[in-house]
Structure 1
Amino acid sequence: MHQRLDGIAASGELPDPEGEAHDPLRTFVAGLSRLLARHPDETTLLDAGAGLLAPLVARDDWLPAAFAVPHPEHYQQYLLHCDPAQRFSIVSFVWGPGQVTPIHDHTVWGLIGMLRGAEDSQPYRLDAQGVPVMTGPPVRLSPGDVEVLSPRLGDIHRVSNAYADRVSVSIHVYGANIGTVRRSVFTEAGERKSFISGYANAQWPNP
């Protein structure tokens, strides 16, 4: 089961990444670090974490251009921050026009905030034979919206850029260093394949 919280975003110019551009991200990192230090249960973590993420994606004036570059053939995942203890990581997910993921899982909790454009998330569950089955309609995320997911609620989905003619960017937060986590993709016939996503970074952040 995926849950969405609606919000409103503002747009703006991409600022100098060495200036004040990182302040909203730093504010989010500090807030989430304090939240995790209290060792909340997952429900509290997801609810409060979504509340912290919403202000970050409610403005589109802080993400450096280097972390919003699409690839012509596939989506990109750029690391923005990894907690030193690897309790969480933050990435920008960059979609070229019409790009789509395979059906996949996460194995950890996650928060997804829409920064720019829009994306559609189709939730799935696995039936007794391991075949992915759609569970409800796709969830549309627009700028400012936040969605939560976890293995407990259901963390299998297929995500696509909602637009065929423009780039979309979302900010994802995961309960691990997601680029190193072994996860699975699923074919519609029920075949399961292991993968580790890695990151697309040509440069590494220091928020």
Structure 2
Amino acid sequence: SFSVVALVWLPGQETAIHDHVSWCVAGVHEGAESEIRYRLAPAIAPGSSARLVATEEVVNGQGDVCGFAPPGDIHKVRNSCRTKAISLHVYGADVSRLGSSVRRVYPEPTG
């Protein structure tokens, strides 16, 4: 099964850092969305935990399409324009049954 979701973003509105339960293809219909992508880096010292490292920032404008599939789909998305942004997302899961496409939410990296 799959789901099609339309998202309307207010200026500056953003998600938490998260990953997903399935693949996704997203297209920007109006405005622009900034996406910061992350990877989990191994723990530095014994007893410490893995940490998030930002790997790139991508700005998707009107007409742009992007996609991802887990694992390796950790990101944060925000409306980076001064007007509303509208995007269409197709997920490879039934989000009405699951309640969300998000698998995990991660804390903001520090330092």
Specify the code of the residue in structure 2 equivalent to 1:108.
S
Give the counterpart letter for 2:14 in structure 1.
V
Distance 1:189 1:124 in 2: 10
CA distance in 1, matches of 2:80, 2:109: 25
Alignment match, 2:45:
none
Structure 2-normalised TM-score?
Answer: 0.83
Of Structure 1 and Structure 2, the greater strand share is in: 2
Structure 2 portions without partners, runs of 5+: 43-48
| Paired residues of 1:131 and 1:188 also in contact (CA < 8 A) | no
Task: Tell me the percent identity.
Answer: 43
- How far apart are 1:166 and its partner, in Å? 1.1
Number of aligned residue pairs: 101
One of 44, 59, 65 as aligned partner of 1:140: 59
Task: Give deviations 1:51-96, integer Å, cap 9, x for gaps.
Answer: xxxxxxxxxxxxxxxxxxxxxxxxxxxxxxxxxxxx1100001101
Deviation at 1:178, TM superposition (A): 2.5
Instruction: Give the 3-state SS of the residue equivalent to 2:20 in structure 1.
Output: coil
Counterpart secondary structure, 1:176: coil
Q: Which has the higher Rg, Structure 1 or Structure 2?
A: 1
Instruction: Flag as ranges the 4+ runs of structure 1 deviating above 2 A.
Output: none
Opposite residue 111 of structure 1, the aligned amino acid is: V
Q: Distance in 2 between matches of 1:140 and 1:189?
A: 21
Larger RCO of the pair (alpha carbons < 8 Å, separation 6+): 2
Q: Which of the two has greater helix per residue? A: 1
Taking structure 1 as the reference length, the TM-score comes to 0.46
2: CA distance, partners of 1:139 / 1:155: 14
Quote how far apart the aligned CAs of 1:117 are: 0.5
Pair 1:91 & 2:39 matched: no
SS at match of 2:21: coil
Whole-angstrom distance in 1 between the partners of 2:86 and 2:27: 9
Residue 143 of structure 1 and its aligned partner are, at CA, apart by 1.0
> In the TM superposition, what is the alpha-carbon distance from 1:98 to its structure 2 partner?
0.6
1:130 shift after superposition: 2.9
Q: Work out which of the residue numbers 76, 100, 111 in structure 2 matches 1:158.
A: 76
Paired with 1:149 and 1:126, the residues of 2 have a C-alpha distance of 16
RMSD: 1.7
Structure 1 residue 189: Cα displacement: 4.7
Contact 1:114 1:143 in 2 (8 A): yes
